[in-house]
Chain A
């Protein structure tokens, strides 16, 4: 099993993701944004940060980086792609995931711990979780207010593409538990096929007890379990090759 962490100019969670993956004993390496090949890879991580300074709009310039063509081909072929924070924004900008990000409703950057409810365990990234399980993870973003029109949101819900929702400690979504004003408290979504996940919270920051929590390990562990074939493929809704793009 091999994991690649893409490094854009301005990525700043690349090393954190690298170490989180490494802590599972999984083979991991960096992929430079100007490369034209992902090399041998089972999971591609698009890390958080401020790619290209987030100038113009978060993720708007990174989508044109040469490596993103390869990521798109890899994703369409069913390869696992995990976009965290800025990585999620890049996935939205390049159309691998539907919707867009707005500035946080409070109009300020927010760094704090939030609670997430696992809305779907059919995703490769949550296949080890219990449905409804509440995970604690940090967020750190200024543009995390997920937006899509109602038709798209209904479709996402219907197909089980909403994977994480912001909730309170008891697992209930409230206005107080939604840190950025995201539509329907959405914190993470997949594409229709389920192999591409974008999430605003940082699982790589919740992988060590000494740093305050290990709930982020569920995301990585699930992906590795899926890749090693430990989870029956039948549970996945791999809807053929026609993944929406």
Chain B
């Protein structure tokens, strides 16, 4: 076989040698195609597996950790939450609508294959600056694609995040998270068992779409790759809605009917068959001639590698085929026996009578290569860490500076985005997007799930360890602010090419930072996704990697929905206070970027013990019923949080800074481990007492009331002196804050 063939498929020459070694012969074309997709980074995690082992994956609530289609965590009362995040970056760069739509479809299948009914979607999106026309196009189309799929299938999209930066201009990031709920005793696994049990393909027919999608996603985006639209699948949410209902109905036929089930996403029938066989320590015999096709003349290679959407591979108990077929037929779908489980550990593919591929299942999965790539600290790292920001001038006009921070896409209301998503279908959405951390009721109970996804790409670029640790801490604070106890993480690690030592260093550092934060905060990682090669090359220029972006998807449990807390101020006269320490930390801040044009400096310090204390005290005072509002502090610092609390509450506030540092530093510092809270004056000493016992400082800033946000500065300590006469440093009507906060993204897109 000529070298150009395996190289074209994305395999290195030494990897081809490894295949020949395993088989003891040269592979045929079908086998080579199967190895190529299964050994792609997308399926094998060959460049990340060794590092991912650092993440803590166990805990008292964990029912299923990494290695299955999704993670599963016990939430009491016999119920479990099933959740997973996944990227669809490469397809979205080439065909944004379908790329994003099929990303949604894929992650939903991962949830209902586990036996759960999906109850919520979230999406974390990153694009180039909105001043760029193509970035606006990608943004608009990605949102439309998510809406088109999620709205139709009827799963509410309840939250997410949006950020923009130059590094995502050619390589947007589209990460979608799905959350489902199932009886803890009814979790399904993707393992085939029991020689002789039939294996069925259910759902949509197989076509030629998405050929080699997994391989496509495992290389950088070049001009040639951008022409590979055939590697992008096309989604049919209607088909998936039928598939979802049919699968849930089949699970209801009895615990033992479905032995194992896996969706056919990346690498289609190849991946689902070899992974199910491998996990179950069995073999599988599949006849591709029996796979229902949507086009004629497909050869075995195409059937094995097609990534047609909305399909599942199911191993069922022998004899139950008629029942299973009946349910799928009721929903207008096909369920076809295409093979059976064997006991020899071999994945054998036939085309009628002819055997067209014969490979040990584990050769495609566990025996995939595993690389520990070379890591090298990039030159900028020390420079930024030690960057002196003391020369950054104080803004002339604080109100103006605050408005500019508020208008940045990172901070501004995402209303333009979430209003296109049906976020209420299912009638379980308790806190709607835009009103705080999203909360979804656990169907049929008085419990809630608080859901968030977080990352700060700039932090992670400047200091991947600290950035990833901050992402975990911020997600946990988000949940705690809503009154939820964090119970599990799913992570989506978006990086450039792991073959570049600087990128691999970023990856390693980020995973180490995330692992440490998970350990200290005691939150297990139950699964996730790695997306490398988020780079694009323009002709004649070197490929540019995206800013490293480890997105943390986190699920929190609220035992009693009456304890749900939101960030908006509620009541005239309430005390406004900050829990935690504010330090002089404006490095890497939104303020520095938007007001001073500096994308750099040292990332805020990480103090995970302090984070833990703040999360504990926040949950304690919420459960004691003491808080009117709670807002975690992150990007944009106190300035952004105060503004949001006013906008969301429709009421003003008057606060005075304690004067421990220059006012812009205090207003926009992004120190972690802090919460902005408000409470009735009568409980002030109680809040202070509880916080003191947890070792968390409480700084009273002022009170809620009026129709303006007024921030006074303590003149003595500000160092403003005579040069800035006039107090009332920030003085803006809430109506104006609202106009800018709600309008900024729409204005940027409609320019």
Contacts and interface: CB of A to CB of B under 8 A. Distances in A.
Contacts of A142: 151
Contact of B425 (A12, A19, A55, A212): A12
A10 B423 CA distance: 17
B429 A12 contact: no
A219 B242 CA distance: 30
Given A111-B423, A210-B430, A10 B238 contact: yes
A13 B154 contact: yes
A207 B238 CA distance: 27
Given A9-B238, A9-B332, A210-B441, A138 B424 contact: yes
A140 B424 contact: yes
Contacts of B242: 9-10
Given A9-B242, A13-B154, A109 B237 contact: no
Contacts of B419: 108, 110-112
Contact of A53 (B144, B152, B423, B427): B152
Contact of A13 (B147, B425, B428): B425
B16 interface: no
A120 to B, nearest CB: 27
Contacts, number: 81
B241 A12 contact: yes
Nearest to B439: A210
Nearest to B420: A109
Interface in A84-127: 108-112
B420 A110 contact: yes
Interface string B87-123: 0000000000000000000000000000000000000
Interface in B329-360: 331-332
Interface in A1-34: 9-10, 12-13, 15-16, 19-20
B120 to A, nearest CB: 14
A204 interface: yes
Contacts of B151: 50, 109, 111, 140, 142
Contacts of B144: 108
Contact of B237 (A53, A108, A140, A211): A53
A140 B425 contact: yes
Nearest to A53: B238
Contacts of B569: none
B100 to A, nearest CB: 14
A169 interface: no
B422 interface: yes
Given A10-B241, A16-B427, A53-B236, A109 B441 contact: no
Contacts of B298: none
B561 interface: yes
A197 B95 CA distance: 41
Contacts of A217: none
Contacts of B332: 9
A210 B324 CA distance: 38
Interface in B412-451: 418-430, 432, 441
A52 B424 contact: no
Contacts of B241: 9-10, 12, 50, 53
Contacts of B239: 53
B480 interface: no
A165 interface: no
Please tell me the size bucket of the interface on A.
20 to 34
A55 B144 CA distance: 16
Contacts of B429: 211
B153 interface: yes
Contacts of A12: 152-154, 241, 425
B152 to A, nearest CB: 4
B678 to A, nearest CB: 21
A69 interface: no
A212 B331 CA distance: 34
A109 B150 CA distance: 12
B424 A202 contact: yes
Nearest to B152: A50
A16 to B, nearest CB: 4
B238 A211 contact: no
Given A109-B420, A109-B422, A205 B427 contact: yes
Interface string A142-177: 100000000000000000000000000000000000
A212 B433 CA distance: 13
A111 B152 contact: no
B240 to A, nearest CB: 10
Nearest to A20: B427
A225 interface: no
Interface string B385-416: 00000000000000000000000000000000
A50 B561 contact: no
Nearest to B144: A108
A64 to B, nearest CB: 14
A54 B424 CA distance: 19
Contacts of A52: 238
A60 to B, nearest CB: 13
Contacts of B236: 53
Contacts of A20: 427
A88 B151 CA distance: 17
B427 A208 contact: yes
A111 B420 contact: yes
Contacts of B441: 210
Contact of B238 (A19, A55, A108): A55
A108 B237 CA distance: 18
Nearest to A51: B238
Interface string B130-148: 0000000000000010010
A49 interface: yes
A148 B423 CA distance: 30
A56 B427 CA distance: 28
A111 B430 CA distance: 15
B358 to A, nearest CB: 40
Point out which of B151, B419, B427 has the most chain A C-beta atoms below 10 A from its C-beta: B427
Given A16-B425, A50-B153, A210-B441, 14 more contacts: A10-B238, A10-B241, A12-B241, A16-B427, A19-B427, A108-B420, A109-B151, A109-B422, A110-B420, A111-B419, A111-B420, A142-B151, A211-B424, A211-B429
Q: 7 closest pairs, A vs B, by CB?
A: A12-B154, A53-B238, A50-B152, A140-B422, A16-B427, A109-B420, A111-B422
5 contacts: A16-B427, A20-B427, A54-B238, A211-B428, A212-B432
